[in-house]
Amino acid sequence: MSIFRRPDYQSEATQFINQMKTQKPELDAQQQAGRALLWDKNVDRTLWEDYRAGRVAQKSYVYYAYSPANQQ
């Protein structure tokens, strides 16, 4: 047994979350449904390949208006 272990310690935030989950057992399903709305999407990989192929390389410093024609 480690001397640094704090037996059965739970922070107030962890206690609050555990209490909320016992009071509302449907909370996990609601969170997963909300996540599915924003993040869990089917990705069309061929479309993304086309997007990536059409990208233009950015200059190293975009705010520097240097062009060899302006040099004197």
pLDDT in tens, 24-68: 999 999 999 999 888 888 889 999 899 899 888 877 776 776 666
| pLDDT value at residue 33 | 93
- Amino acid in the structure at residue 56: V
| pLDDT value at residue 69 | 60
- Residues of the domain holding 42: 12-53
Q: Has residue 40 been placed in a domain? A: yes
Cα–Cα distance list, 66 to 30, 57, 58, 61, 69 (Å): 53, 16, 14, 10, 9
Q: Has residue 28 been placed in a domain? A: yes
| pLDDT value at residue 14 | 93
Q: Has residue 22 been placed in a domain? A: yes
Total-model pTM: 0.45
| pLDDT value at residue 7 | 73
Count of domains observed in the chain: 1
The answer on pLDDT for 5 being more than 60 is yes
